Amino acid sequence: MARRHLLFLFVAVVAASVCARLGFWQLSRLRERRARNALVAARLALPTVSPAELPRDTGLARFRRVTVRGEYDYAHEIVLTNRAREGSPGVYLVTPLRLPGSDTAVLVTRGWVYSPDAATVDLARWRERSDSALTGFVVPFPGGRRGSPVLARRPGALRWLTQDEVSRRTGYPVVPYTVVLLGGNAPAADSVPPRLTPPPLDEGPHLSYAFQWFSFAAIALVGAAAFLSAERRKRGGG
């Protein structure tokens, strides 16, 4: 076999190997997605509890449904920037809820609000009452992020939440998670932002991506075999 044919075969095998590896990686992502879906569904199906009944490990409390009561502290409300929804720019409104009989507050993610620059919003427009029980699911603060969550020239905005930064801003302790209020997409009143929903329990595009990568691997091998076979026939005919 000519050297150029060997080189062509080598490149085809390497390309097929890379594509097959990416296909298996997508299958691994699919298994992870299914495991996460099962976890979310199981946690959301558990009985609703109070904050005191949640596991201390925030990883175990993630996606648990919880009911809280207290008073919103709008003076220390936080805007989480760059939160897109259905292709539109916006922000999340995160409001401390002062718990009765405690110096600690729970951060409540009240919903999403449209914002053209994904950072600026009229907070007074979205103030609602908190004189009834509020039910949502638990989302721990994100960890392992580098850099600062603070945005220059935007004192009330953050890129993400950290317990230390929120406590520094409010002047009182906060629990290391947020309660994302549950509700439909349509607001119950003009001042109530559209609530968020739990993560979708679909399998995502991983299976179709895996099929595509395995198809590319097969095309590389079959194409190489066809090319070398045609070259062999040419030499034989000559």
| Each residue's pLDDT tens digit, 88-147 | 999 999 999 998 888 889 999 999 999 999 999 999 999 988 777 899 999 998 877 777
pLDDT of 186 > 70? The answer is: no
CA 176/CA 168 separation, integer angstroms:
14
Q: Which among 166, 182, 183, 184 is positioned nearest to 174, based on CA atoms?
A: 166
Name the 3-class secondary structure at 179: strand
Q: Check pLDDT > 80 for residue 48.
A: yes
Q: Which domain holds residue 212?
A: 3-36+204-237
Q: What share of the chain is helix, strand, coil (3-state, %, to 5)?
A: 40, 20, 40
Residue 49 CA to residue 136 CA, distance in Å, equals 10
How many percent of the chain have pLDDT more than 90? 55
Residue 12: inside a domain: yes
Whether residue 234 is predicted with pLDDT greater than 90 in this model: the reply is no
Please indicate, yes or no, whether residues 28 and 88 belong to a single structural domain of this protein.
Answer: no
Domain count for the chain: 2
Q: Is residue 15 part of a domain?
A: yes
Residue 122 and residue 223 in one domain: no
d(CA 35, CA 225): 39
* Domain shared by 30 and 71, yes or no: no
Classify residue 194: in a domain, yes or no. no
**104 within some domain:** yes
Q: Tokens representing 93?
A: 């409104």
27 lies in some domain: yes
Q: Which of 8-22, 91-105, 165-179, 222-236 has the lowest mean pLDDT?
A: 222-236
Residue 29: pLDDT above 90? yes
Residues 175 and 213 placed together within one structural domain of the fold: no
In this prediction the pTM is: 0.80
d(CA 33, CA 169): 36
Spatial CB neighbours of 108, under 8 Å, sequence gap ≥ 6: 68, 72, 94, 95, 96, 97, 134, 136, 178, 179, 181
